[in-house]
Amino acid sequence: MLKIEHLKKRYKTGPWVLKDISFEVPDGEIVGLIGPSGAGKSSLIRCVNRLIDPTDGNIQLDDVNLSSLSAGKIREQRRHIGMIFQEYALVERLSVMENVLSGRLGYLPFWRSFLRRYPEQDIDNAFEYLERVGLIDHANKRADELSGGQRQRVGIARALAQDPRLLLVDEPTASLDPKTSRQIMRLIQSICREKSLSAIINIHDVPLAMQFVDRIIGLQGGEIVFDGKPEALTEDVLTRIYGDEDWTSVKPDEDDLENGEAA
């Protein structure tokens, strides 16, 4: 279980980007984090794995307090937190397999990773994850030979290779077409279900979020303004999160859900 208490963040002397954020994510729950650009979504998930340091507050994963760990100790904890990025963030000149295996770096001493001497078990697992995301035939290709959707699948396999307890997902579909977006969201959702992983997904696409997550948290100006089931996301709530707009066309109607194709 992930527990965030009174999390605050400001960059140097800038304004507060996160003001007193508190929520809990039970094991196996998928949380969609929505909100306008600049609401602090990215900062929030980067505070969890300490890619940035929170200014104040507590972040607790199971029984470890992540926010107070030293730089050396946080590395151990990062192994348990998989992260998936908007622009895939693969190392493009490495092979697909190397990218997936790089999820194991936190478990290996430098010389083994330098010589690419991975334990047999890690390699077997990596093949399994590639199979799971449907890229088993591409293991030896260079990452920059793949399409956007395929690259994101490699990103997912890399996160899986970490054997994580929590997934942090930053705009997984922002660079993808609508169909691929759905496939990727569906993949993330089903993987979370299989391994009863919890996940926090930053996402701009509200209908997509409502379709694939268990719970939605709306962030606005660094504060939580909505926390509840996707069905409770009414036009009023959307206005509270994003400001005035005609929301009628944004809500997913039945057609969308059945065809699996959004405009």
- Residues in contact with another protein by CB under 8 A are 49, 51, 75-79, 81, 83, 85-87, 89-94, 98, 102-108, 110, 113-114, 155, 158, 162, 168
The pair of three-digit structure tokens given for residue 41, joined into one six-digit string: 């979504």
Closer residue to another protein, CB minimum distance, 86 or 211:
86
What minimum distance in Å lies between the beta carbon of 40 and another protein? Answer: 17
Closer residue to another protein, CB minimum distance, 89 or 250:
89
Residue in 133, 249, 130 with CA at minimum distance from that of residue 186: 133
Cβ-in-10-Å burial (0-12, 13-18, 19+) of 30 comes to: buried
What minimum distance in Å lies between the beta carbon of 166 and another protein? Answer: 12
Radius of gyration of the chain from Cα atoms? 19
The pair of three-digit structure tokens given for residue 47, joined into one six-digit string: 């505070």
Asked if 4 contacts 12 with a C-beta cutoff of 8 angstroms, the reply is no
Closer residue to another protein, CB minimum distance, 99 or 183:
99
Closer residue to another protein, CB minimum distance, 69 or 237:
69
C-alpha span between 104 and 113 (Å, rounded): 9
Q: Which residues pair with 16 in a beta bridge?
A: 10
What minimum distance in Å lies between the beta carbon of 138 and another protein? Answer: 18
What minimum distance in Å lies between the beta carbon of 88 and another protein? Answer: 8
